């Protein structure tokens, strides 16, 4: 990936770094990041590299740790292992060509990213959406949120050493994935939103399936609570671990369950209302303990709230078109201007900012990933904790690395 431009090189300010990356100091085995990290290390600490291949870092994340025994003195996440430069792709592809990218940014809540991009384009171009399409967007996005939270739950417990809940979660997810396949054609990386509506209308099978799924999942949640959430070992592992006070949330721009677990009642669906969310009766779960357990409980409660929204949306699903008759053709040009559209994703506030100069492709697209801001606070949060706690904190932040790296 070496461009012929020679503006400025990315030389780190590490005295021992060599020009093409890596470390010139023979004593330090490792690349430039290790070298840079070790510059500030105490002589008696152990420098440990967690990742990029690691069962618990939820993707290709590398965390450099300076350990004093089992205590973390300093932590530094190193990103970029999954960087695909989506923002550049957005500048060379037309909006319709770029849509599939949004499913790959955060594959677990792909529909929220779909929505953020589609919303930004529709806001900029003034495209209208039929009411039925709004409801379908809400239903599928909330179903996606549930599947994302279920996978988070299973994976989090796997990190903590319980091997069984992930199997139960995937059992439930299978039903969800089947339903979403009816609506989107995919099982994971959905790109079914279109400018002006959604890709396909809801079939009676889909509506029936959703009607059966909601009470089924509702009946499973008490079992999860009794078996897992109230387990004393789990509670000892995540209560009072990873305290994120409110000022840390503000300084890092964290959002989603990370903010709501620290007592900040901020949800984009209420703060910057979009679509038809204001027609439904649902709560925003809020906890004040600021620890990993609080974030865990917020997400579990969000599953229940999503079920409520889906129930109401399916009951009041209006008739109509799934695509606006005046929706633009895929080859349409964006008018000049900028627009910022924010959506509440499973991980927090997803933002897409588009600036266009009227050409075929956008001039600039900025993808604001919630995980990026959430992970940034890990270094400060994990200081002084045990290595096992670091794993618990990382899991409670619910990160998907492709979203962070883009």
Partner 1 sequence: MNATISFDSVLHVVLALVGVAVFVGLNGLLLVYAERKVAGFIQRRPGPYEVGPQGILQAVADALKLIGKQLVRPDRADPLLFWMAPVLAFFPVLLLFLPIPFSPLLTGWDVNLGLLLILAFAGFNVLALLLAGWGSNNKYGLLGAARAVAQSVAYEIPLLLAVLAIAFQEGTLSLSAIVGGQGGMPWQWNIAVQPLAFLIFFVSALGETNRAPFDLPEAESELTAGFHTEYSGMGFGMFFLAEYANMIVACSVCTVLFLGGWKGPFLDGAWWFLAKVYGLLLSMMWFRWTYPRVRFDQLLNLNWRWLLPLGVLNLLATAFVMKL
Partner 2 sequence: MTPDTASVTPDVLLAPLDPAYLADENPARTGLRWSAFLSADALPRAAALLLEAGWHLEDICGLDVREGLMAVYHFDRMTSPGRLAIRVLADRETPVLPSIADIYQGAEWHERETADFYGIAFTGNPNSMPLLLPEGMQGHPLLKDAAARAPLAALLAAQGREDTVLRKAEGFTLLEPAEDAKPAKPAKAKAAATEEGADNA
- The tally of CA atoms less than 13 A away on the side-chain side of residue 392 is 25
Task: Work out whether 208 is an interface residue with partner 1 (CB under 8 A).
Answer: no
From residue 82, how far is each of 12, 79, 115, 376 by CA, in Å? 20, 8, 23, 17
Answer with the entry of partner 1, partner 2, none that 4 interacts with (C-beta below 5 to 8 A by kind): partner 2
**Quick check: 168 binds partner 1 (CB under 8 A)?**
yes
In contact, 254 and 374? CB cutoff 8 Å: yes
Show contacts with partner 2 in window 359-398 (CB under 8 A): 359-361, 363-364, 366, 368, 372-373, 376-377, 380
Q: Does 22 bind partner 2 (CB under 8 A)?
A: yes
Q: Are 371 and 347 in contact (CB under 8 A)?
A: yes
Which residue among 162, 207, 284, 317 contacts partner 1 (CB under 8 A)?
162
Peptide bond into 145 cis (omega under 30): no
Cα(109)–Cα(103) distance, rounded to whole angstroms?
A: 8
Told to check if 230 binds partner 1 by CB under 8 A, we report no
Q: Counting contacts by CB under 8 A, is residue 157 touching partner 1?
A: yes
Selected from 55, 185, 330, 359, the binder of partner 1 by CB under 8 A is 55
**Integer angstrom CA distances of residue 386 from 146, 249, 381:** 31, 22, 11
Which of 53-61, 127-135, 284-292, 350-358 is the region at the interface with partner 1 (rule: CB under 8 A)? 53-61
Sign of the C-alpha dihedral computed for residues 153, 158, 162 and 167 taken in this order: positive
Q: What binding mask, one character per residue, do residues 299-328 give for partner 2 by CB under 8 A, x or -?
A: ------------------------------
**Contacted entry of partner 2, partner 1, none for residue 283, CB cut-off 5 to 8 Å set by kind:** none
Strands (E), 56-110: 62-68, 71-78
DSSP 226: I
| Site membership for partner 2, residue 32 (CB under 8 A) | yes
Q: How far is the CB of 237 from partner 1 (least distance, A)?
A: 6
Q: Which of 24, 85, 167, 336 binds partner 1 (CB under 8 A)?
A: 167
Tokens 């903590």 label which residue?
Answer: 160
Q: Which two tokens stand for residue 77?
A: 């996440």
Nearer to partner 1, 137 or 237 (CB): 237
Where on the chain is the footprint of partner 1 (CB under 8 A)?
46, 48-49, 54-56, 70, 157-164, 167-168, 171, 231, 233-234, 236-237, 386-389, 391
């Amino acid at each position: 990936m070496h461009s012929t431009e020679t503006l400025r090189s990315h030389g780190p300010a590490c005295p021992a770094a060599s020009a093409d990356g890596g470390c010139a100091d023979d004593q330090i085995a490792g690349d430039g990041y290790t070298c840079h990290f070790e510059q500030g290390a105490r002589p008696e600490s152990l420098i440990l590299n967690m990742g990029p291949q690691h069962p618990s870092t939820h993707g290709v994340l590398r965390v450099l740790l300076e350990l004093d025994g089992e205590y973390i003195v300093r932590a530094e996440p190193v990103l970029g292992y999954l960087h695909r430069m989506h923002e550049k792709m957005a500048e060379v592809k037309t909006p319709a060509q770029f849509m599939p990218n949004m499913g790959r940014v955060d594959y677990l809540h792909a529909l929220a990213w779909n929505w953020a991009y589609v919303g930004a384009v529709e806001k900029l171009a003034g495209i209208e959406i039929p009411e039925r399409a709004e409801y379908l967007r809400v239903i599928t996005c909330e179903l996606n949120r549930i599947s994302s939270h279920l996978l988070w739950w299973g994976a989090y417990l796997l990190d903590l050493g319980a091997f069984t809940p992930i199997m139960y979660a995937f059992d439930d997810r299978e039903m969800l994935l089947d339903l979403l396949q009816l609506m989107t054609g995919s099982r994971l990386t959905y790109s079914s939103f279109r400018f002006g509506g959604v890709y396909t209308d809801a079939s009676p099978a889909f509506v029936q399936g959703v009607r059966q799924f909601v009470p089924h999942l509702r009946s499973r949640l008490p079992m999860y609570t009794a078996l897992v959430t109230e387990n004393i070992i789990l509670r000892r592992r995540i209560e009072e671990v990873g305290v994120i006070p409110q000022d840390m949330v503000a300084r890092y721009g964290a959002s989603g369950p990370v903010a709501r677990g620290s007592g900040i009642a901020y949800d984009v669906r209420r703060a910057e209302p979009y679509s038809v969310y204001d027609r439904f009766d649902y709560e925003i779960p809020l906890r004040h303990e600021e620890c990993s357990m609080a974030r865990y409980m917020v997400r579990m409660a969000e599953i229940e709230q999503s079920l409520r929204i889906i129930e109401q949306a399916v009951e009041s699903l209006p008739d109509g078109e799934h695509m606006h008759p005046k929706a633009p053709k895929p080859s349409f040009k964006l008018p000049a201007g900028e627009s910022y559209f924010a959506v509440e994703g499973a991980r927090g506030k997803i933002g897409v900012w588009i600036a266009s100069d009227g050409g075929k492709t956008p001039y600039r697209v900025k993808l604001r990933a919630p995980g990026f801001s959430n992970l940034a606070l890990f270094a400060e949060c994990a200081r002084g904790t045990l290595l096992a706690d670091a794993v618990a904190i990382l899991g409670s932040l619910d990160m998907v690395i492709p979203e962070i790296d883009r």
